[in-house]
């Protein structure tokens, strides 16, 4: 069965609750004819999840909702943390886990990524697990072993059924927000390697089912090139997801 392409917008630390609701309402009419062909997901900051969720529910939008992070406990003395249960309550479908900015600025490790992956699946949501190499790792020719290691660590102990539902975003760190990208062929090589890793751990059906996104300076102008690659099932989009027209054009390209 063909995989359902996904385009997910990572709004990072942008948009207030009100601005997020307006952006969501602006995206909707631009993508109204492609819902069935492409799964479209927006990932606002925590403080805009409620307003965006309300727009999605009241206007009956077919857009999916994702958070940008989560803590792994359901409740307790963890000041500032947000639990999976709280995200489910806001009707989140997805949670971005292990984004390189979380790894770099907030102490995320392979071990905490794995705990979060389990917590997200445990709550009935799906993690969008981010992996990707630094420029130094790429220049050392170590990209694929490095990324395979990140994938193995992230999915350790996950069930075969959940493995097939995973979304993995391959995001070379040096391409995020820089305007630089790998060639589509080289991004596909890493995506294929990620799929093969899932296959080695969980078997061929999970490898065929897992969706692998490319992320890093995806724009309307370059999206089609990446989406033409056989192991790339869509994109995780940062900067360009903050503009309704750009995000819609990227989503259209994924069709």
Task: Give contact residues for ligand PEP (rule: CB under 6 A).
Answer: 10, 171, 176-177, 215-218, 236-240
Instruction: Based on the residue annotation, tell me whether 57 is a catalytic residue of this protein.
Output: no
Nearest to 181 by CA among 111, 132, 142: 132
Tokens of 141: 């020719």
The minimum distance between CB 218 and ligand PEP, in angstroms, equals 5
Nearer to ligand PEP by Cβ, of 155 and 218: the residue is 218
Nearer to ligand PEP by Cβ, of 24 and 68: the residue is 68
Nearer to ligand PEP by Cβ, of 24 and 222: the residue is 222
The minimum distance between CB 227 and ligand PEP, in angstroms, equals 15
The minimum distance between CB 203 and ligand PEP, in angstroms, equals 29
**For residues 220 and 249, is the Cβ–Cβ distance under 8 A?**
yes
The minimum distance between CB 200 and ligand PEP, in angstroms, equals 26
214 sits in which H/E element: strand 211-215
For 58-122, give the DSSP string.
Answer: HTT---EEEES---SSSSSS-TT---HHHHHHTT--EEEES-HHHHHHS---HHHHHHHHHHHHH
Decide: residue 22, CB within 10 A, 0-12 exposed, 13-18 middle, 19+ buried. Answer: middle
Measured between alpha carbons, how far is 114 from 102 in angstroms, rounded to an integer? 14
From the list 39, 171, 229, 252, the catalytic residue is 171
Measured between alpha carbons, how far is 168 from 95 in angstroms, rounded to an integer? 11
Nearer to ligand PEP by Cβ, of 168 and 207: the residue is 168
Residue nearest to ligand PEP (CB): 238
Tokens of 222: 């370059």
Nearer to ligand PEP by Cβ, of 171 and 231: the residue is 171
Instruction: Based on the residue annotation, tell me whether 14 is a catalytic residue of this protein.
Output: no
* Residue 93 CA: distances (Å) to CA of 84, 96, 149: 11, 10, 26
First-to-last alpha carbon distance for the chain, in angstroms, is 16
The minimum distance between CB 102 and ligand PEP, in angstroms, equals 10
From the list 99, 108, 133, 229, the catalytic residue is 99
**For residues 192 and 147, is the Cβ–Cβ distance under 8 A?**
no
Catalytic residues: 99, 171
């Amino acid at each position: 069965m063909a995989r359902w392409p996904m385009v997910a917008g990572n709004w990072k630390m942008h948009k207030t609750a009100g601005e997020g609701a307006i952006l969501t309402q602006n995206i909707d009419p631009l993508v109204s004819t492609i819902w069935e062909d492409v799964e479209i997901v927006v990932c606002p900051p925590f403080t805009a999840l409620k307003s965006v969720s309300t727009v999605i529910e009241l206007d009956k939008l077919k857009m999916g909702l994702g958070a940008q992070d989560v803590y792994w406990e359901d409740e307790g003395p963890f000041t500032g943390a947000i639990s999976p249960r709280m995200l489910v309550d806001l009707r989140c479908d997805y949670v971005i886990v292990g984004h390189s900015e979380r790894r770099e600025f907030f102490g995320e490790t392979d071990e905490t990524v794995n705990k979060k992956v389990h917590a997200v699946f445990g709550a009935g949501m799906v993690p969008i697990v981010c992996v990707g190499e630094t420029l130094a790792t790429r220049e050392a020719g170590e990209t694929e072993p490095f990324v395979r290691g990140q994938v193995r660590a992230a999915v350790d102990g996950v069930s075969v059924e959940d493995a097939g539902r995973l979304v993995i975003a391959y995001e070379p760190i040096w391409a995020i927000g820089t305007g630089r990208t790998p060639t589509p062929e080289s991004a596909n090589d890493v995506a294929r390697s990620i799929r093969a890793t899932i296959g080695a751990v969980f078997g061929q059906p999970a490898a065929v089912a897992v969706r692998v996104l490319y992320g890093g300076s995806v724009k309307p102008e370059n999206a089609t090139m990446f989406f033409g690659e056989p192991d790339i099932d869509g994109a995780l989009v940062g900067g360009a997801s903050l503009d309704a027209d750009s995000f819609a054009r990227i989503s259209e390209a994924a069709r």
